[in-house]
Amino acid sequence: MKSAFVGIIGRPNVGKSTLLNAMLGEKIAITSPKPQTTRNAVRGIYTRSEGGQPVCQLVFIDTPGIHKPKNKLGSYMTDTAVATLKEADAVLFLVDSPYEDNGGDALIVDLLKKVETPKILVINKTDKIGPDVFEKIYKTYDAMGLFDFIVGTSAVKSVNTDVVLAKLEELAEEGPMFFPPDMVTDHPERFLASEIIREKLLLYLEEEVPHGTAVEIEKYEELDGLTRIYAAIYCERKSHKGMIIGKEGRKIKGIGKAARQEIEALTGTRVYLELFVKVKEGWRDSSVAISNFGYKKD
């Protein structure tokens, strides 16, 4: 039996969560075209069996994008990602553009130089970048002598995700199985429901509004064939509250419907979902609010 904890790091919006979902074959991490979608370290569990017996388990830690923080929430997110480097047995570093000396990838490279953990560079979005750009990225990072393996992927199309998994299995060492073989995440459904709601906020809202929102599950009841969820959506300004609700409540109804349908697929039950919108000004710079919303270190 082999096992390993694998940290997934990179700048915001390079496709970390999409890659995790593709490798697991299930959606456990929310995604959106907007940067900084992931706020918590989301754990995904991949277990491969042979002859009905587990032979390898990889526990992935999907981290928030590493960026220069603008508020306390941003600092928490970056600290969470950096802390993963110290805990992981292997690291997947995702990039999707050429290296720049003063860019965000340079900061991550400096961090990686300080850890002895095996490192795999994943050049993602090969379906969008051309072969010349790919070659430039590959040669630049290969010359650093920092990475054990470099591979190109298209996470959104599941291209070469099997190659990444195979290489991680090679790097994994003999060890215990940490979770049951049928488990794909250690997060409870309550947490996943709040993340699904936040994902729909990111998809339905424009500009800065979604980044100033947080979702708090106030009540989560599991009944016979029915799950009742009462969730509060917090925003930072009164004007944002109106944007979230929308004209005649159409916006929040759309958010609620989209979230409810996905939560029903997750739970396998009918879902009653009620959303409320509340204002908590400046919560992203409040240590207490950040902690209350679940953004805190274990």
Does residue 232 lie within any of the structural domains?
yes
Q: Indicate whether 8 and 72 sit together in one domain.
A: yes
Same domain (yes/no): 69, 211: no
Q: 71: Cβ–Cβ under 8 A, 6 or more apart, which residues?
A: 284, 285
Do 11 and 146 lie in one domain? The reply is yes
Give me the number of domains the chain comprises. 2
> Range with the lowest mean pLDDT among 23-37, 109-123, 133-147?
23-37
Higher-pLDDT residue of 115, 91: 91
CB 67: neighbour CB atoms within 10 A? Answer: 17
Give pLDDT, residue 298.
Answer: 47
Element (H, E) at 193: helix 189-204
Domain residues for the domain of 96 are 2-174
pLDDT more than 90, % of the chain: 48
pTM: 0.74
Average pLDDT for the chain: 86
Residue 163 neighbours by CB under 8 Å, 6+ apart: 151, 153
Q: Read out DSSP for 195-235? A: HHHHHHHHHH--TTGGGG-EEEEEEEEEETTEEEEEEEEEE
Per residue in 270-291, pLDDT (tens digit) is 999 999 999 988 887 877 777 7
